[in-house]
Structure 1
């Protein structure tokens, strides 16, 4: 599939298909549709920050890894016989449905399979549930999924609601717009522009902090923004540069403009009470970095769109 994103017409058609027909034929155990609530993409009311959030200094610090940790989180998965992973099926290179095979593929998909291998000894024992951005935290809190592997940024607000693994990739916010646009980045060029971002995303937070006069448009999934852009219903998109690079690869008529220069660590998210599962996932990530699997996944999925990354981010652990 490398190079497939270079054909703009095909990319636009695939983007429309992925956004408008999320319930394409599944992979048996490898893919089940989310429940009605997740599929509807309904926004969930923001929960107030908990006490202690103001002291948050290193949200990316996670629990130390353990190959033997066991408790409610791990036992739930083992007893069921398969891992339920919340993923995106619309983010090219990260988590997307290959239009030629109907299979789910990408950097995050490979990582989710590796987690199943760590817990169950078999990477095929995973059910993928496609969930919109705004449903990631509720899905974990209600245990509709065991993990969310979906380019999810670790930050001080989110660690009050869910637990995270150590960082497995570092992103930043970026603007995506047509190549002939007069948009130049996070500046006054966004004044009066219709700027699209996913509801519940860090892109939404960035626009709330400094919209530069933009008219903010919220959608359930980030790929919906690319479709809006292609249809002329939006002027620009704000999203993580990792996702923006994938969208630019899908449609070469689009171009990336500027970044905020603020590192956004991606982590695997889990229920806040599943400390045993966090430790097992961190053990997997420790091995994933050392044995070459992280590098192989980067070269396969991300190197063309995001070149020059020599190694995965180093983990940070709690004392």
Structure 2
């Protein structure tokens, strides 16, 4: 069965949350992040009574954060400069600063998606920030602060292409995504008239899109925004309905309610900081996004 009803509901959410704005000028993915860094300060004399995770941070004198490092403008490591940048990276820095830890007291550790829960359960990391969708299955093993971002499956196209408002408009065209991913499975299952192309990496899909070998790329819109911000003169994110809803949260050890509340309060009271982080990392994509309310479960 095609996903018409679901698209109507999610499309309404997308319309309320996402609006197209004029593209900014300048270079995307600034590693020094001046606008964002000015938006937060390192807190002093922080005390979180009842948080075993915070106690571990204080004892070792640093924060250990799980991240991704292959997503432009979200979580990215420049192999030449060894500098990290992106929306998620700055969210992780902001959390650390609010807990009293400056940049030189953060130990970033790349953790593959499949290993995130185990890394948190094992105590290998204090928290995880990296396009980490909140769902009930994961909440059986860990907790989440947030969400700090709401996204869903969207479309990336060339800037000279039309702004597709539905997947049906891509019938007969080729849409690319990662091999075996949920997005490509959704296209195959529900839109058989749309051609598909698969590669191991999304970056390969983006390269083929720029070169005209495929007509669109699909995955979480947040990831697509990152690619659009990287090449705003060549790529854009469509404003049509999203195909799903994904709420990105901060992965935390199960049962550390004190730390979860502290981070949720930071998000709730830090709207200006959130906006600065988004603008600095993803503003050049041409998409503006509202900060979501946290789920203080």
**TM value normalised by structure 2:** 0.68
Among 94, 98, 103, the residue aligned to 2:74: 94
Please say if 1:176 is aligned against 2:156. yes
Cα deviation for residue 307 of structure 1 reads 3.8
**Cα distance, 1:119–1:175 mapped onto 2, change above 3 Å:** same
**Cα distance, 1:194–1:169 mapped onto 2, change above 3 Å:** closer
Aligned to 2:176: 195
**What do you get for the CA RMSD once the two structures are aligned?**
3.7
**Cα distance, 1:307–1:124 mapped onto 2, change above 3 Å:** same
Aligned to 1:266: 248
Aligned to 1:186: 167
Aligned to 1:149: 129
**Cα distance, 1:232–1:277 mapped onto 2, change above 3 Å:** farther
What pairs up with 1:1-319 in 2 under 5 angstroms? 3-4=26-27, 68-98=48-78, 101-178=81-158, 186-187=167-168, 189=170, 193=174, 195-197=176-178, 203=183, 206-207=186-187, 210=190, 212=192, 215=196, 217=198, 219=200, 222-223=202-203, 225-227=205-207, 236-251=216-231, 252-257=233-238, 258-260=240-242, 262-289=244-271, 292-309=272-289, 311-318=290-297
* Count of matched residue positions in the alignment of Structure 1 and Structure 2: 254
Q: Deviations over 1:71-105 (max 9, x none)?
A: 33222222222212121222222222357743111
Give unmatched runs, 5+ long, in structure 2. 1-23, 30-45
Question: Do the aligned partners of 1:168 and 1:312 also contact (CA within 8 Å) in 2?
Answer: yes
Higher relative strand content: 2
Flag the structure with more relative contact order, 1 or 2, with Cα contacts below 8 A and sequence separation at least 6. 2
Cα deviation for residue 296 of structure 1 reads 1.7
